[in-house]
A and B are shown apart, each in its own frame.
Chain A
Amino acid sequence: MNLIRTELRKILQYPTFWVIMATYVLLQVLLIYFSSSLMVSGQSLGKSLYDFPNLWMRFSYIAYFFNLLLGILVIVLITDEYSYRTLRQQVIDGRSRAEAVLAKFYVTLGLAATGTIFLLVMGLLFGLIYSKDTSIGAIFGKIDYLSYFFVQAVGYMCMAMFFAFLIRKSGLAIIAFLAWSKIVEPIIHYQIDDSIDRFMPMKVFGSLTPTPGQEIIDGLTSPTMVLSPGWAVLPALFYIALLVLASILLVRLRDL
């Protein structure tokens, strides 16, 4: 509790935090709002995008792109502690290194929860306005996608956290995080067999929010082998634990 209270003190008064969160909310609202006019194979997706219960799947897929922003926020929050040398001061003042890492892990949980609640509010808002079917059964039909999104957001941020503790400089850590998640790992995916690469971390996190309409695409081309969201949860939790432990180990082994 003490750890969380301290993190809140630091974050809530940090202008950068509010700027990034405002960007997160604003861009996501815009994308959700305008995605209905996206053209797919010559016809507009239209308001059917907001139909319950598939809305949860679509919204969590949209939110998936913004996990990068949350990851960058986590990197900024962690590397700040290095540049202000406050991590060092906290260890001097009596905090253990594991606690210092755990505090940041709790921040990722908090941010993921915030993102999930935001998604829930957006979903209910757009759904209740535009959805054809607003029965209780439809509204809560696929709401479990929100929990997949939560795990995914935590996973993305833990990956970012690992790079932040590894590199300790904000710019370089952000580049490394983006390079790994968007370039290096995808390249590896191409090189190795689908049956193996579907277990790689970014792919596992990605499978938690499947591309809407993937089953149609799969019907047209050869099906890609990805884990279903339900099956991806377990390896995702495994990677989250691994990344947290690796971060603790890194901080323990090095001078501050």
Chain B
Amino acid sequence: MATVLYLDELSKKFGSLQAVDRLTLQVEAGSIYGLLGPNGSGKTTTLGMVLDVIRPSNGSFLWFGRSISKETKQRVGALLETPNFYPYLTAEANLQVVADTKQADHRHINKMLDMVGLGTRSHTTYKGFSLGMKQRLALAAAMLNDPEVLMLDEPTNGLDPQGIAEVRDLITRIAAQGKTILLASHLLDEVEKVCTHVAVLQSGKLKANGAVGDILSTQDQLLISAEELAPVLQLLERLPYVTQFAQDKNSIRLTLSEGYTSTDLNRDMFAQGIVLSQLLVRRKSLEAQFLELTQK
């Protein structure tokens, strides 16, 4: 597969702050690459550097195997931090400005507005838009000349649940067209839901990267309790598919190996005459996973 973006020891220093520290990454064509990290971990700075608006202090990057130019920029659609438009212009006029810059066909404007569900609002000025609409307009702008790569910085930041769902749905639809997407987010859940690959950043340093399945564990955690915990613990020792368990005050947390579910556990407990008073399936806390990753 072709490499879309290659970062080589990319670094940025703001005064004494090392915002990005020798970051080396490779984004392959067709992947949905998540750049995951807490606020201030250097995600936006990294995107800013490869988008030519922040000058790297050190290191280099290549787009499609060559250095950045007008030609490579036209193959990438990007939004950085916030949607950036003229508040007094209408959605359509704003996209006309973008189309000029990208030398995109102006006939695509209405098609893109329809795609992001703003077709009926094309004559509304930008300042009258809700945050979700602004974000969607930014997506329309990024997609205007049908780029191969889409780069999104916290695309669901500040949106309400419906807005988040709409934007995620849009991203998945765009990805289905075979585009490469680079997505920066501080939301593990988002990266896990949307991305195929992930790089974890903290304080500008790369903590982990690879396929999402390898980096972020998707195992569920079970929480059970019963009148008497002792027999439960004894049984858990003997069940081969229980990978680990630990007792809290009056409940037990455990994880099962792949392919087994809470049903199996419940059946085996009942077969042994143990009646559970509580059986709760809980996703392993993403925050906990993230802390594990960043503390490695």
A94 proximity list for chain B (CB < 8 A): 70, 73-74, 101-103
Q: How far is the CB of A71 from chain B (nearest CB, A)?
A: 21
- Chain B residues with a Cβ closer than 8 Å to the other chain, count: 28
Scan residues 3-54 of chain A and give those whose CB is less than 8 A from a CB of chain B: 5-6, 9-10, 13-15
Q: How far is the CB of A5 from chain B (nearest CB, A)?
A: 6
Complexed CA–CA distance, A34 and B52 (Å)? 53
Chain A positions 78 through 94: 1 when the CB is less than 8 Å from some CB of chain B, otherwise 0:
00100011101111111
Interface with A: B23-31, B90-98, B205-213, B288-296, which one?
B90-98
B74 (CB) vs chain A CBs: closest residue: A94
B72 (CB) vs chain A CBs: closest residue: A94
A88 near B97: Cβ-Cβ < 8 Å = no
Complexed CA–CA distance, A80 and B88 (Å)? 11
| A96 on interface, CB distance cutoff 8 Å | yes
| A95 on interface, CB distance cutoff 8 Å | yes
Complexed CA–CA distance, A6 and B93 (Å)? 10
Scan residues 56-89 of chain A and give those whose CB is less than 8 A from a CB of chain B: 80, 84-86, 88-89
B100 near A2: Cβ-Cβ < 8 Å = yes
Q: How far is the CB of A23 from chain B (nearest CB, A)?
A: 18
| A172 on interface, CB distance cutoff 8 Å | no
B98 proximity list for chain A (CB < 8 A): 89, 93
Complexed CA–CA distance, A224 and B51 (Å)? 54
| B89 on interface, CB distance cutoff 8 Å | yes
Complexed CA–CA distance, A256 and B54 (Å)? 6
A/B pair count, beta carbons within 8 Å: 71
A95 (CB) vs chain B CBs: closest residue: B101
B89 near A256: Cβ-Cβ < 8 Å = no
| A193 on interface, CB distance cutoff 8 Å | no
| B53 on interface, CB distance cutoff 8 Å | yes
Complexed CA–CA distance, A255 and B52 (Å)? 9
Q: Per a CB cutoff under 8 Å, which of A2, A6, A92 touches B78? A: A92
Q: Per a CB cutoff under 8 Å, which of A15, A80, A92, A254 touches B51? A: A92
Complexed CA–CA distance, A84 and B100 (Å)? 18
A255 near B54: Cβ-Cβ < 8 Å = yes
B89 near A92: Cβ-Cβ < 8 Å = no
A14 proximity list for chain B (CB < 8 A): 86, 88
Q: How far is the CB of B278 from chain A (nearest CB, A)?
A: 51
A13 proximity list for chain B (CB < 8 A): 88-89, 93
A92 near B73: Cβ-Cβ < 8 Å = yes
A84 near B87: Cβ-Cβ < 8 Å = yes
Complexed CA–CA distance, A31 and B52 (Å)? 48
B96 near A9: Cβ-Cβ < 8 Å = yes
- Of the A-B pairs whose beta carbons lie under 8 Å apart in the complex, a sample of 6, sorted by A's number, is A9-B89, A84-B87, A88-B53, A94-B73, A255-B48, A255-B54
12 new A-B contacts at CB < 8 Å, known A6-B101, A15-B88, A80-B86: A2-B103, A6-B97, A14-B86, A14-B88, A84-B85, A84-B86, A84-B87, A91-B53, A92-B52, A92-B73, A95-B101, A255-B48
